Structure 1
Amino acid sequence: MTCTPLDVRPVAEDQWDVVAWLWQLFRHDLATIVHGLPYADGRYQHAWLDPLPSPDAAGYLAWTPHPHGGESPVGFAIVAGLTEPRRHILAFWTSPVLRRSGLGTKLALDAIGRHDGPWSIAFQRDNVGAGAFWRRVATAAFGTEGVAWVEEARPVPGKPDLPPDHWIETVE
């Protein structure tokens, strides 16, 4: 499937509820990787989302025309570290029906392109698809691996029983 028309816009003040709904889909997708279960209220972990909006983070929604009229939110990216030395992707999700269409790459490059500075992008070792995706995005956004960016495995803080996360970082 080729990328449908796509408009990436900053999350408006009244759209954080839309992100909260999509966040549940994001966490659902990650559940098999992080062995996550919903809490008693039926929702997945959302602690990272709760303090947003914030001066340290920016959210972006990807919109495409809905087949029955109007627009459909089909992805989101949250960039954090805006007040820190490094920017990083806090969370990223695209609608499964549009994956492999170019949507994710366009959304990621748009979000990264809005913020100068050194970058870090982390993903779980066992999330093979995410690893391949973020390596392609890093090359497109920053340049050649080993020159413009590097990847390394790091232990998950406070969770020695988990495999290390992988981190892509731009070279300063």
Structure 2
Amino acid sequence: MGSTTDSPHIVLRPATAELRPVIERLAQLYRHDLSEFLGHLPAADGTFGFGGLSLFFDEPEREALLIQYGSASAGFVLTQPMPEGSTSISAFFVVRALRRRGVGRQAALRLLRSRPGAWAIAFQEANAGAARFWRGVATAAVGSAWHEETRPVPPPAPASLPEDHWILLNTET
């Protein structure tokens, strides 16, 4: 990977109504990636369901952000408040062409540092790349001041899914 000075700038843009279709298309790639770990299959029309995606555009406490790499749409982040007061990164996606190039790490750290406070990040342990990624991001953000726990996948997900692994950290301290 080259230095960040010769890399395109990474920007997190709030997904306005005009960007919603971009997030919806990228969400198809995200759901396809997760199908390997969660067993999702496309519907008869060839698309993957993502029933809760509209909530990130319709509910003011939730947020959809587009990750841009220069002028390219590089991925997205979905956040929502948790009952205990933390902010959850509900979904995080970077296109395959930009993975392992620091784009996701930069975007994740920019997000965590831009909003000091408690964060909760869920992932599936079977997704080894995501597990390494989030543990590395947590360490880069707060050193060893984070912990991990497992929790059941919330409904309406099938009970047969393996538990989610959660990284809990606070960027205020």
TM-score normalised per structure 2? 0.85
Residue 83 of structure 1 and its aligned partner are, at CA, apart by: 8.6
SS at match of 2:53: coil
Which runs of 5 or more structure 2 residues have no equivalent in the other structure? none
Task: Indicate whether 1:28 and 2:27 are aligned.
Answer: no
| SS of residue in 2 equivalent to 1:27 | helix
Partner amino acid, structure 1, of 2:126? D
| TM norm structure 1 | 0.85
Higher helix fraction (1 or 2): 2
- Please, which of 6, 10, 34 is the counterpart of residue 14 of structure 2? 10
Change (3 A) 1:150 1:82: closer
Q: Deviations over 1:101-149 (max 9, x none)?
A: 00000111122223232111000120011000000111112221xxx21
Q: 1:47 aligns with which of 34, 38, 51?
A: 51
| Residues 119/100 of structure 1: CA separation in 2 closer, same or farther (3 Å cut) | same
Q: Does 1:56 align with 2:61?
A: yes
* Deviation for aligned residue 1:82: 7.6
The structural deviation recorded for 1:59 is 2.0
Q: RMSD value over aligned CA atoms?
A: 2.1
Superimposed CA distance per residue, residues 72-112 of structure 1 (whole angstroms, 9 cap, x where no aligned partner)? 10111111118961101111110101101000001111222
In the alignment, the residues of structure 1 paired with residue 56 and residue 151 of structure 2 have an alpha-carbon distance, to the nearest angstrom, of: 26
- 5+ residue gaps, structure 1, are 66-70
State whether residues 67 and 76 of structure 2, in contact with CA within 8 Å, keep that contact through their aligned partners in structure 1.
Answer: yes
Q: Report sequence identity in percent.
A: 40
Instruction: Report deviation, 1:21.
Output: 0.4
Residue 151 of structure 2 aligns with which residue? 154
Alpha-carbon distance in 1 for matches of 2:111, 2:75: 12
Given that residues 10 and 106 in structure 2 are in contact (C-alpha distance below 8 angstroms), is that contact kept between their aligned partners in structure 1? Answer: no
1:13 deviates by 2.8
User: Shift of residue 160 of structure 1?
Assistant: 3.9
Shift of 1:23: 0.3
Match of 1:68 in 2: none
SS at match of 1:169: strand
Structure 1 segment 6-155 matched on structure 2, within 5 A: 6-8=9-11, 9-53=13-57, 54-65=59-70, 71-81=71-81, 85-144=85-144, 148-155=145-152
SS at match of 1:122: strand
Count matched residues: 164
